[in-house]
């Protein structure tokens, strides 16, 4: 099984408390997800994540293909990090660590994603030509939305 890594870091001009408050509320996920993914949270969600929380949603990763996805928040160390892991969905494996740290008067947000795709060689080709680009697009969109919400 081939495991891919995506890592992103950015600075937000907000306090650690503000950044944590935004990212630890699963109801904010649609605000930073590209509209064409048509993300819909399908579970009842609380305003704050906790270890063991299950969040279900649907996404449209490619046109005309709707996929159900279930994520478990497996670790939470407020306000330093949390981890979400796919329990079922479009990936064979998905492990996403979200780190938060004070950086002067800003907050550094670092994402570390490890993922794998099904279908062996077909999955590797899909990653090369589509999935890695789509993930870059999603995280670039997120960065743009965060700047709109919180400034540079």
pLDDT digits (tens, 9 = 90+) for 82-96: 999 999 998 999 999
- Sheet of 54-62: strands edge to edge? 4-12, 106-116, 93-103, 81-88, 65-77, 54-62, 40-41
Q: Where are the domains of the chain?
A: 4-150
Q: Which tens digit of pLDDT belongs to each residue from 20-61?
A: 999 999 999 999 999 999 999 999 988 899 999 999 999 998
How many Å apart are CA 126 and CA 139, to the nearest integer?
18
Q: Measured between alpha carbons, how far is 70 from 42 in angstroms, rounded to an integer? A: 10
CATH number for the domain running over 4-150 = 3.30.530.20
- The whole-model pTM stands at 0.93
> Nearest-CA neighbor of 116 among 81, 75, 139, 86?
86
């Amino acid at each position: 099984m081939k495991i891919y890594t995506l890592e992103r870091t950015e600075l937000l001009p907000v306090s650690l408390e503000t950044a944590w408050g935004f990212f630890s509320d699963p109801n904010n996920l649609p605000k930073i997800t590209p509209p064409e993914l048509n993300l819909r949270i399908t579970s009842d969600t609380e305003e704050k994540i906790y270890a063991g929380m299950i969040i279900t949603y649907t996404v449209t990763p490619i046109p005309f293909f709707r996929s159900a996805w279930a994520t478990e928040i497996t670790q939470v160390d407020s306000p330093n990090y949390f981890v979400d892991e796919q329990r079922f969905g479009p990936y064979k494996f998905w492990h996403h660590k979200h780190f938060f740290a004070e950086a002067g008067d800003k907050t550094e947000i670092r994402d570390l994603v490890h993922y794998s795709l099904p279908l062996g060689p077909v999955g590797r080709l899909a990653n090369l030509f589509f999935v890695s680009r789509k993930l870059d697009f999603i995280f670039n969109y997120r960065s743009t939305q965060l700047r709109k919400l919180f400034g540079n």
